[in-house]
Amino acid sequence: MKLVIIAGGKGTRLGLKDIPKPMVKIGDKPLLEHQIELAKRYGIKEIYILSGHLANVIKDYFGDGSKFGVKIHHITEPYPLGTAGCVKLLEGKIDERFLVFYGDVVMDYDIKTFIEFDSNYKSIGTAIVHPNDHPYDSDLLELDSNNKVIKVLPKPHQDGEYYQNLVNAAVYIFSPKIFDYIKSDISQDFGKDIFPELIRNNETLIGYKTPEYIKDMGTAERFEAVKRDFLSGKVAKLNKQNKRPCIFLDRDGVINKNMDTHPTTDGFELLSGVSDAIKAINKSEYLSVVVTNQPMIAKGFVTQGEVENTHKKMETILGENHAYLNGIYYCPHHPDRGFEGEIKELKTECDCRKPKPGMLIKAAKDMNIDLEKSWMVGDSKRDIEAGKNAGCKTISIQKDLGADFIAENLEEAVNTILKGEYNE
């Protein structure tokens, strides 16, 4: 697969004058060199660099790429064409699916897994999406249950709008068909112009969720943050090839007030201290993943759409408090029959309904989670048994349910885990 790097940024917010934004140093090398090394690590050795502002600086440094063990083609835009408009310059030069990086993004992710995921779909492209701690001022994508992008939510978002915290990470794989949707000689952006057009034309654009490190350095503050993360080793450590521990969370009674038999979006109310607890997880090495039984779907009391809208509200509220979840898994099944309006195809014995560990195992597969180093926090016997069945340590909220520890609330549970107040 060939790589296209969009490297036309000026870096004015970083105070740059003599070099373009992608040439700013992270550690001892320009960011652009780190991106090329990442691609090379995964066998990608033919690269197109699309530059504009101070393009000669990039050309003089990299040349034809031979001294870096790759082949580099330099394309200079005649005037600013935007993220999509400049890619149009490659029409006729690339006739296979290709990878796209934005030149101002610090990243280390498993490209092989991304390419394999993309190959499972007949799509015009795949965009990496991930949560962040400021979704309220980020460009977001909404996915359906099959990972298809169904909506683009550019910032600013409407007041009272609930959304999935899935930020467009500005890393893509595209089919050459994408060129058909980009106009020549005018400035266009993938997120604002091209993606909405793909949706209007019912093209299949896929979203790939990953917790790996992919962050832009658009402001001076973010630049300093990504530099710290790079120098500390955090950027490389979060590559999906490295296993990570997780704190699995039940939903009702742990994150929000228990809604009993009426799990409505309007009735969703976050418990005190939950945002701070999840924010603490986000700052640690642990992933934060919700695993929740939602049998009311099978019973016909609520629809899957209503449950998912409740989850959007949960993500929106957490995001407003600078916290996020790396994943939400729910089981819609229930084995017992006899409810008026029940959904017959969901009345089944499944592998995902707690106390079975199916949701935890699915999350572990999706995110390469180390279950032995992970925790399950819940307020029912089913939660604790599911955690144990998955091989995790467990904490129960307020009740003695046979867990490894008991905590008063989620905040105390997370503090116990992060402070290491347990025997390994």
Catalytic residue list: 250, 252
State how far the alpha carbon of 379 is from the alpha carbons of 13, 148, 332, 407, 417, in Å.
47, 34, 19, 10, 16
Residue 75 sits at φ, ψ, to 5 deg, of -125, 125
Which among 263, 335, 352, 330 is positioned nearest to 298, based on CA atoms? 335
Give the three-class secondary structure for 88. Answer: helix
CB atoms within 10 A of CB 304: 14
With both helix axes pointing from N to C terminus, report the angle between 274-282 and 410-418 in degrees, rounded to the nearest 10: 20
398 bridge partner residues = none
What's the first-to-final CA gap in the chain, in angstroms? 44
DSSP codes of every residue in 281-307: HHTSS-EEEEEEE-THHHHTSS-HHHH
State how far the alpha carbon of 373 is from the alpha carbons of 122, 364, 385, 392, 393, in Å.
37, 12, 16, 7, 8
Residue with tokens 């399950």: 376
Helix or strand (DSSP H, E) at 84: helix 82-87
Which among 78, 75, 53 is positioned nearest to 3, based on CA atoms? 75
CB atoms within 10 A of CB 211: 22
Residue with tokens 């034309």: 201
